[in-house]
Amino acid sequence: MKGRGFTLQAAVNDIRRGIQSEVGKFIDAHKSLIAHTCDNEDAVTVANAMRDFIAGFIHWIYEGERYFGKRHEEVAKFGWVFMDTGGDEVDMS
């Protein structure tokens, strides 16, 4: 982070952009594989299994307490997340 002159927020944003970039590359590779092995059912199944895995994993992040604690439903509902990096959280009650 410091090496690239990033703030913490910029570093987090960069990670998200990285994920988006990887999704784009995945889609390209997925299309290529399907086009190249369209007559091989196993190859198509595995390629689609990877797609299922990505989507399932990212949706799962919002479904339990592992990543967002007790407030995961709130996070899933509003879509925006504020992470505590040491200070006290805003008391909404």
Partner 1 sequence: MNKYRPMAWIINTQTRTIKLFIKVAGKNGEDQHLSVYSPLDSKSMSSYHIQDLRLVLPPLDFDVRVNKHCAKANALFREWLKESLRGDVARTGELSNHRFDLLCALCFPTIDLPQLLRISKLCALTFLVGDGHVQAETSPSQWHSRYVPRVEPAFKALNRSAVHSGSIPRSDLLNPEHLLEVAHSLRTMQAQELKYSVPVAFGTNIFLRFTGTIFSSLYSSRKANTQNHHLGLLETFAILENIYDRNFSNEHTDVTLFTTLWIHTTNIVIRSQVIRWRKQVLAARELTRLPGPSFLHIQTCTRV
- Applying CB under 8 A, the residues found at the interface with partner 1 are 1-4, 6, 8-9, 11-12, 14-16, 18-27, 29-30, 32-33, 36-37, 40, 42-43, 45-47, 49-67, 74, 78-90, 92-93
Query: How near is the Cβ of 35 to partner 1 at its closest, in Å?
Result: 10
Distance of CA 17 to CAs 3, 11, 14, 38, 71, Å?
18, 10, 5, 31, 25
Query: How near is the Cβ of 56 to partner 1 at its closest, in Å?
Result: 3
User: How far apart, in whole angstroms, are the C-alpha atoms of residue 23 and residue 16?
Assistant: 11
- Max CA-CA distance within the chain? 58
Rg, Å, the chain Cα set: 18
Query: How near is the Cβ of 31 to partner 1 at its closest, in Å?
Result: 10
